[in-house]
Amino acid sequence: MTRTPEAHAARSAVQYALRIGTLTRPDRCQNPDCGKVGKVEAAHEDYSQQLDVKWLCTSCHRKWDRQKPKGGTMETPAPVAQFKDRIKELRRMTASELRANPKNWRTHPAEQSAAMTAVLNEIGIAGALLAYIDEEGRVTLIDGHLRQELITDQPIPVLILDVTEAEAVVLLATYDPLSALASTDNTKLIELLEQAQPDSAILQGMLDRMGQEAADELVEAAAQASEPENADGEVQAGGTSTMADEESGYTTFTAPLTLGQEQTVRQALRLARGKYGLEKTGEALARLCEQWLQDNPQAS
């Protein structure tokens, strides 16, 4: 079952009302048979009444949804589609046995090639190339041209698809763009990146850039949602920003740094995570600040 736009709109309205103080989240479940103290969620009986909610713990919220289905809460499940399975076989082939697709429109800059090489060195081959048999009987690639270029001394797993020339063209045109259409949950991405600790400096640099971009987007979204406007309707900007997430209990903090300062901070946080056995960068930052305060009691 799928959450409907009405459900998303109601949830967003509740989050906004909490932020501006129209609603207040209690500290215990409002189910009289439960009353559990702790995190509670907004439960709707009718999503058209966006701020008419009961505050329930997760367990009671699930029971509430099962016992009180509301109009527009869930979409009717679609019938299970029977899709064609076009994977014909898995072969292991050398790069020289594979034909690069002459219609391939993707290029591979040096940065991508270096990152792929780093993954291959650190992890190994962890995915299959896609190919089909063309009209002349050649195994022609649809996806995996960069790996064909880089893996030249050992067999590579290749999924052979039972598709026509025309269908191969459609796959070639859409395979990567379909992945690019996915949106990003920046909070989850940052949490994931904090747990990813590759040995390769190239991969670490790439992940650091991803994390910085995700943090920047979170801060920008928070600034747009919460900063006051001046008389001309322009948002007042500051040098340092924070964003609090009521659901997770986390706050995102950012401050402007020079490139040299950024490298120093990143190196210090990586070392702190290793020294203190921490998984999250935020925990490492807090630990460093706590240590500084302990070492400099006269400053507080």
pLDDT at 235 (0 to 100): 40
Q: Are residues 103 and 172 in the same domain?
A: yes
Q: Are residues 58 and 99 in the same domain?
A: no
DSSP letters along 77-140, please? PPPPP-----EEEEEEE-GGGSBPPTT------HHHHHHHHHHHHHT---S-EEEEE-TTS-EE
Q: Are residues 220 and 206 in the same domain?
A: yes
Could you tell me if residue 249 is inside a domain? no
Do 222 and 252 contact (CB within 8 A), yes or no? yes
How confident is residue 251, by pLDDT bands cut at 50, 70 and 90?
low
Indicate if the alpha-carbon torsion angle 176, 157, 117, 138 is positive or negative.
negative
Q: How many CB atoms lie within 10 A of CB 275?
A: 11
Q: Are residues 187 and 207 in the same domain?
A: yes
Instruction: Name the burial class of residue 201, with classes exposed (0-12), middle (13-18) and buried (19+) by CB atoms within 10 angstroms of its CB.
Output: exposed
Q: Are residues 278 and 205 in the same domain?
A: no
Do 7 and 47 contact (CB within 8 A), yes or no? yes
Tokens coding 42: 């907004």
pLDDT at 138 (0 to 100): 96
- Give residues with Cβ within 8 angstroms of 205, minimum separation 6: none
Q: What is the pLDDT of residues 103-158, one digit of tens each?
A: 999 999 999 999 999 999 999 999 999 999 999 999 999 999 999 999 999 999 99
Higher pLDDT, 70 or 127: 127
Do 204 and 217 contact (CB within 8 A), yes or no? no
Could you tell me if residue 116 is inside a domain? yes
Could you tell me if residue 141 is inside a domain? yes
- Please say if the pLDDT value at position 248 is more than 70: no
Q: Are residues 174 and 211 in the same domain?
A: no
Q: Are residues 116 and 199 in the same domain?
A: no
Domain boundary among 134, 158, 180: 180
DSSP letter (8 states) at residue 72:
T
Could you tell me if residue 96 is inside a domain? yes
Could you tell me if residue 132 is inside a domain? yes
Could you tell me if residue 276 is inside a domain? yes
- Please say if the pLDDT value at position 237 is more than 60: no
Q: What is the pLDDT of residues 262-297, one digit of tens each?
A: 777 877 888 888 888 887 778 888 888 888 888 888
Could you tell me if residue 250 is inside a domain? no
Domain boundary among 180, 213, 228: 180
Q: Are residues 165 and 210 in the same domain?
A: no
Tokens coding 266: 């990143």
Q: What is the CATH number of the domain that holds 146?
A: 3.90.1530
- Number of alpha helices (DSSP H) and beta strands (DSSP E) in the chain: 9, 8
Distance, in Å, from the CA atom of 269 to the CA atom of 273, rounded to the nearest integer, reads 6
pLDDT at 225 (0 to 100): 66
266: left (phi over 0), alpha (psi -120 to 50) or beta: alpha
Higher pLDDT, 213 or 95: 95
Q: How many domains does the chain have?
A: 4
* 167-181 burial code (b ≥16 CB/10 A, e <16): ebeebbeeeeeeeee
Least confident of 73-77, 172-176, 222-226: 73-77
H or E element in which residue 169 lies: helix 165-180
- Please say if the pLDDT value at position 231 is more than 50: no
Could you tell me if residue 80 is inside a domain? no
Task: Reduce the DSSP state of residue 176 to 3 states and report it.
Answer: helix
Domain boundary among 180, 197, 232: 180
pLDDT at 123 (0 to 100): 96
Q: Are residues 220 and 271 in the same domain?
A: no
Q: Are residues 27 and 96 in the same domain?
A: no
Q: Are residues 100 and 176 in the same domain?
A: yes
Which amino acid does the sequence have at 299? A
Domain that holds residue 282: 257-300
Q: Are residues 198 and 169 in the same domain?
A: no
